[in-house]
Amino acid sequence: MIDVGAVVDNAMAMWAGTATEVSVDQAVFRAETPRTARLILRAPATADVISGLLDSVPTTKATTLEDAFGDGRGGPPDTTVRVLRMPVMARPAGPAAASGASVRIVRVADPGELAVAERTIVEGFPVPAFLPWRKGEALPERVLTVPGCSVWLAYREGLPAAAACTLDDGGVAGVYWLATSPEHRSAGLGRAVMGHVVGAHAGRASALIATEAGRPLYESMGFRTVATTTWYMRPAR
């Protein structure tokens, strides 16, 4: 089964493809855009180190620090920091069962369709750090050329309805930002998109970080919890 290190490496590759500035050392990976910063720990860190890393980012940026090695206890004292503990889930290689939903799913191949998928994700997930949505900020056009990166868009009744991203780094297929537009929820689109993207990477084990709302869906599709990650999220001020 996938280990935490493989999930961390996959996440670094994903966020490196979307950021305007990237730096990495033995302790932490940093990816920044004009409005956001994502820090991913590469090794265990103390609460003081985590606080220092968060403080190193301008408060004008919404910041998320991912810690897949700690237990989330004794986090930074800053009361503006929201702490989330979420399951890291994985499934072995192999296709997933078809959902039966009436939906057309495409791998995005051009900038116009990429913008539609990006807006679907930012507003449907939603992703507060990228609201209001600005074209190319969360998913710049260069993601279409990042090795192993795919953006998926689902159409229901001819309308864009759901989207997701995957990053296949040769060892793991990471799934990111699965989102459904509010007006298309409860129509089986999440299962349909997940089944499609898992099938597109059927030769790879798949991994994702789940919300509690999404966990039952992923468990029904063969994903199992392999670790717990803690996210320290500080809004822009």
Rounded mean pLDDT, 53-62: 96
Cα 211 from Cα 3, distance rounded (Å) = 19
Q: Is the pLDDT of residue 62 over 80?
A: yes
Rounded mean pLDDT, 96-107: 86
The pLDDT assigned to 74 comes to: 61
Q: In what order do the strands lie in the sheet with 205-209?
A: 21-24, 28-32, 36-41, 62-67, 224-234, 82-91, 205-209, 172-180, 159-168, 149-156, 104-107
Considering only residues 100 and 29, tell me which one the structure prediction assigns the higher pLDDT. 29
Of 26-30, 53-57, 198-202, 210-214, the range with the lowest mean pLDDT is: 210-214
Query: Which amino acid makes up residue 74?
Result: G
For 164-204, the pLDDT digits (tens) are 999 999 999 999 999 999 999 999 999 999 999 999 999 99
Model confidence at 64, pLDDT cuts 50, 70, 90, reads very high
Average pLDDT, the chain: 94
Is pTM beyond 0.75 here? yes
Domains present along the chain, CATH in parentheses: 4-86+229-234 (no CATH), 104-227 (3.40.630.30)
Q: Is the pLDDT of residue 207 over 70?
A: yes
- Say what percent of the chain tops pLDDT 70: 97
The pLDDT assigned to 35 comes to: 95
The pLDDT assigned to 130 comes to: 95
Model confidence at 73, pLDDT cuts 50, 70, 90, reads low
Of 59-73, 172-186, 223-237, the range with the lowest mean pLDDT is: 59-73
Rounded mean pLDDT, 120-141: 96
The pLDDT assigned to 96 comes to: 87
- Say what percent of the chain tops pLDDT 90: 88
CB 29 within 8 A of CB 42: yes
Considering only residues 190 and 76, tell me which one the structure prediction assigns the higher pLDDT. 190
Model confidence at 102, pLDDT cuts 50, 70, 90, reads confident
The pLDDT assigned to 77 comes to: 65
Residue 135 CB-density burial (10 A; 0-12 exposed, 13-18 middle, 19+ buried):
middle
Rounded mean pLDDT, 60-75: 86
CA-based nearest residue to 38, from 19, 63, 75: 63
Q: Do you know the residue count of the chain?
A: 237
